[in-house]
C-alpha cells in the first residue's frame, strides 16, 4: 500500500502562511504538472523521477530541511538573480534559495501595490511574498536584491516593508574598468552584510570550498546540457528546464549527485540512440528572459508542435553555468576578484551594451545544431524586449530563422502562440 503523503500544514502555519490560499495554490500545481510533464511526454529518462518528486512535494521536504538548517544555526537567504553569488552565501554557512515566481496565481497580492505594467516575474515573486503563500520567502533571514532592471530596483523597496532586504549594486556599464572595481567593492560589502547575518567570517578556505562545490554543480548542469546536442536529444527541453529550475532551491550536494545520475543516463541513451521526440522534430533554441518554476508554457507549446527545445540561452539555462573561474588565490580578496570576473561574464540584457549576448546566441545555435531560435520576452520587460529586436535582426542577417514571442503567465494567448509556433516550425524545413 502506498504511504500517505506527509501533511505539512503545521509547518506552513508556523511559518505564517495563509493556509487557505496556499492550499489553493497547491491544488493548481499538480494538475498543471501532470498535464505538461506526464500526459504530454513519453519515454522520459528514469532519473527524472527524482525531479518529479521534488516538484510534487514543492513546499514539503525541502522546506522542512530549511527549518532544520535554521534551527542548526544556518543562515537562509532568498535571492532573485544570478548575480547574487551562491559561493559567498554557502561559504558563510548559508543556504541560497532562488525565489523568482513563475505563475500569476500570486497576482492577487500585488493589486494596488505594483503598477499593472510590471513584468510577470516581478509580480509573481513579490506576490508570493506579500500573499504569504511561499514558505521559502517566509523562512528567509534576509533577501538579497540587486540593481539590474528598474522594476526589480523598486520591488526591493516594496519587499523591504515586510522583510529584511539588502540590495547589492550591480553596474550597468559592466565592461568599464571602474565598473569591475565597483562590483568587487559591492561583493565585499555583501560579504560584510552576510557575515553580520550569519555570525561567520569569510575565509579563503571556506570560500574556496564553496567555490569548488558550486562549480561542481554547474559542471553537472553543463554535462547534462552537453547531451542535448545529440540528435535525437536524449531528454526533452521541458525536462531539462525543470532540472534548471529546481537547481535554484535544492541542496547543492544532492543536485550534484542527481543531475550527475541524469546526465549519465542521458549519455547512455545517446550511445543507444534513444531519443525523446519523433524523428524530424525541429530543434529549437530559446533565448530570453528566465522561465521560473512553474512557467513551462513556451516549452510545452513548442514540444507539442513537432519541435524540441535543445537549449535555453537564459538564466534558467546556459547563463547559469557557462561562465566559469579558476579557483586560484590565497586570500579572500583574490578569490573575490575571480568571482567578480565570473559574474560579470553573465550577459544579461540589463547591461549596456550587451553585444556578447549576440555572440553567445550565434555560438549556441551552432553548438546545439538548432534549426531555429525563439526569442522569448515577458511583457513589460524592457531590457529583453529591446534586445529581442536587435537580436532578431542580427540572427536573420546570418540566415538564422527567428520567431519572437512576447507573453506573460496567463494562458489566454496559448492558442494564438501555438498557431505561430506551428507555422514557424513548418517553415524550418
- Report in angstroms how near the CB of residue 40 gets to ligand BJ8 at its nearest: 26
Compute the least distance from the CB of residue 290 to ligand BJ8, in Å: 5
As a whole number of angstroms, the distance between CA 40 and CA 335 comes to 46
Rg of the Cα atoms in the chain: 21
29 Cβ neighbours under 8 A, 6+ residues apart: 55, 58, 294
Q: Which stretch binds ligand BJ8 (CB under 6 A): 23-31, 108-116, 128-136, 380-388?
A: 380-388
Q: Which three cell numbers stand for residue 227?
A: 547531451
- For ligand BJ8, give the closer residue by CB, 96 or 289: 289
Among 83, 156, 183, 343, binds ligand BJ8 (CB under 6 A): 83
Among 211, 346, 373, 391, binds ligand BJ8 (CB under 6 A): 346
- In angstroms, give the least distance from the CB of 10 to ligand BJ8: 34
Measured distance CA(337)–CA(263) in Å, rounded: 31
Nearer Cβ to ligand BJ8 (45/151): 151
- Rounded Cα–Cα distance for residues 134 and 16 (Å): 10
For ligand BJ8, give the closer residue by CB, 315 or 425.
315
**Contact status: 320 vs ligand BJ8 (CB under 6 A):** no
Cα(294)–Cα(134) distance, rounded to whole angstroms? 13
The 10 Å Cβ neighbour count of residue 376 is 26
- Closest of 402, 396, 391, 236 to residue 310, by C-alpha: 236
Among candidate residues 221, 378, 361, the one with its CA nearest the CA of residue 295: 378
Query: In the numeric block, which cell numbers belong to residue 208?
Result: 574556496
Q: Residue 383 interacts with ligand BJ8 (CB under 6 A)?
A: yes
Q: Minimal distance in Å, beta carbon 278 to ligand BJ8?
A: 33
Q: Which region holds residue 249: left if phi is over 0, alpha if psi is between -120 and 50, else beta?
A: alpha
With CB under 6 A as the contact rule, which of the stretches 208-216, 271-279, 345-353, 389-397 interacts with ligand BJ8? 345-353
Q: List the grid coordinates of 309.
A: 527545445
When asked if residue 350 is in the footprint of ligand BJ8 (CB under 6 A), the reply is yes
Q: Does 339 bind ligand BJ8 (CB under 6 A)?
A: no
88/350 with CB nearer ligand BJ8: 350
For the bound state, the minimum distance from the C-beta of residue 353 to ligand BJ8, rounded and expressed in Å, comes to 15
Tell the smallest beta-carbon distance from residue 351 to ligand BJ8 (Å): 8
Distances from the Cα of 231 to the Cα of 176, 182, 305, 382, angstroms: 41, 44, 18, 35
Q: Positive or negative, the Cα torsion across 338, 261, 277, 236?
A: negative
Selected from 54, 58, 109, 378, the binder of ligand BJ8 by CB under 6 A is 378
Q: Within 10 Å of residue 256's Cβ, how many Cβ atoms?
A: 19
Identified binder of ligand BJ8 from the candidate list 144, 168, 243, 315, rule CB under 6 A: 315
Whole-number Å distance between alpha carbons of 289 and 159: 22
Q: Are 308 and 286 in contact (CB under 8 A)?
A: no
Q: Decide whether 241 or 378 has the Cβ nearer to ligand BJ8.
A: 378
Question: Binding to ligand BJ8 (CB under 6 A): which residues in 144-203?
Answer: 148-149, 151-152
# residues near ligand BJ8 by CB under 6 A: 20
Q: Applying CB under 6 A, which part among 75-83, 174-182, 265-273, 406-414 lies near ligand BJ8?
A: 75-83
The DSSP-derived string for 154-188 is: HHHHHHTTTS-EEEE---SSTTSHHHHHHHHHHHH
Question: Which one of the spans 134-142, 258-266, 343-351, 391-399 is the region binding ligand BJ8 (CB under 6 A)?
Answer: 343-351
Using CB under 6 A, which residues numbered 103 to 142 contact ligand BJ8? 119, 121-122
- Residue number with CB closer to ligand BJ8 (262 or 315): 315
The contact set with ligand BJ8 (CB under 6 A) reads 81-83, 119, 121-122, 148-149, 151-152, 289-290, 315, 346, 348, 350, 378, 381, 383-384
Amino acid at each position: 500500500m502506498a504511504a500517505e503523503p506527509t501533511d505539512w500544514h503545521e509547518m506552513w502555519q508556523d511559518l505564517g502562511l495563509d493556509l487557505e490560499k496556499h492550499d489553493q495554490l497547491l491544488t493548481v500545481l499538480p494538475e498543471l504538472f501532470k498535464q505538461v510533464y506526464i500526459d504530454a511526454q513519453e519515454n522520459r529518462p528514469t532519473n527524472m523521477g527524482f525531479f518529479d518528486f521534488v516538484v510534487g512535494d514543492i513546499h514539503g521536504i525541502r522546506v522542512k530541511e530549511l527549518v532544520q538548517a535554521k534551527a542548526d544555526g544556518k543562515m537562509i537567504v532568498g535571492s532573485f538573480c544570478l548575480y547574487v553569488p551562491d559561493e559567498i552565501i554557502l561559504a558563510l554557512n548559508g543556504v541560497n534559495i532562488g525565489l523568482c515566481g513563475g505563475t500569476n496565481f500570486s497576482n492577487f497580492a500585488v493589486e494596488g501595490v505594483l503598477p499593472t505594467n510590471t513584468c510577470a516575474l516581478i509580480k509573481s515573486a513579490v506576490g508570493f511574498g506579500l500573499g504569504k503563500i511561499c514558505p521559502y520567502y517566509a523562512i528567509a533571514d534576509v533577501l538579497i536584491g540587486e540593481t539590474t532592471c528598474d522594476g526589480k530596483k523598486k520591488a526591493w523597496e516594496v519587499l523591504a516593508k515586510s522583510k529584511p532586504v539588502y540590495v547589492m549594486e550591480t553596474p550597468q556599464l559592466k565592461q568599464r574598468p571602474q565598473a569591475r572595481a565597483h562590483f568587487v567593492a559591492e561583493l565585499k560589502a555583501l560579504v560584510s552584510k552576510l557575515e553580520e547575518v550569519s555570525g561567520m567570517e569569510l575565509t579563503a578556505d571556506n570560500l574556496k570550498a564553496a567555490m569548488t562545490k558550486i562549480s561542481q554543480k554547474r559542471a553537472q548542469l553543463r554535462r547534462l546540457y552537453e547531451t542535448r546536442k545529440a540528435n535525437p536529444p536524449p531528454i526533452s527541453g521541458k525536462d531539462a528546464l525543470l532540472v534548471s529550475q529546481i537547481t535554484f532551491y535544492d541542496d547543492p550536494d544532492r543536485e550534484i549527485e542527481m543531475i550527475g545520475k541524469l546526465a549519465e543516463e542521458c549519455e547512455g541513451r545517446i550511445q543507444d540512440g534513444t531519443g525523446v521526440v519523433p524523428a524530424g522534430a525541429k530543434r529549437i533554441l530559446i533565448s530570453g528572459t528566465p522561465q521560473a518554476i512553474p512557467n513551462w508554457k513556451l516549452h510545452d507549446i513548442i514540444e507539442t508542435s513537432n519541435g524540441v527545445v535543445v537549449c535555453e540561452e537564459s538564466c534558467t539555462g546556459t547563463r547559469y553555468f557557462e561562465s566559469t573561474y579558476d579557483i586560484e588565490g590565497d586570500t579572500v580578496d583574490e578569490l573575490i576578484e575571480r568571482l567578480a570576473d565570473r559574474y560579470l561574464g553573465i550577459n544579461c540584457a540589463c547591461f549596456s551594451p550587451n553585444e556578447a549576448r549576440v555572440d553567445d546566441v550565434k555560438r549556441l545555435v551552432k553548438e546545439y545544431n538548432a534549426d531555429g531560435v525563439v526569442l522569448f520576452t515577458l511583457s513589460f520587460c524592457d531590457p529583453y524586449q529591446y534586445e529581442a529586436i536587435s537580436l532578431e535582426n542580427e540572427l536573420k542577417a546570418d540566415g538564422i530563422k527567428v520567431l519572437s514571442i512576447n507573453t506573460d503567465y496567463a494562458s489566454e494567448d496559448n492558442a494564438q502562440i501555438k498557431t505561430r509556433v506551428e507555422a514557424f516550425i513548418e517553415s524550418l524545413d
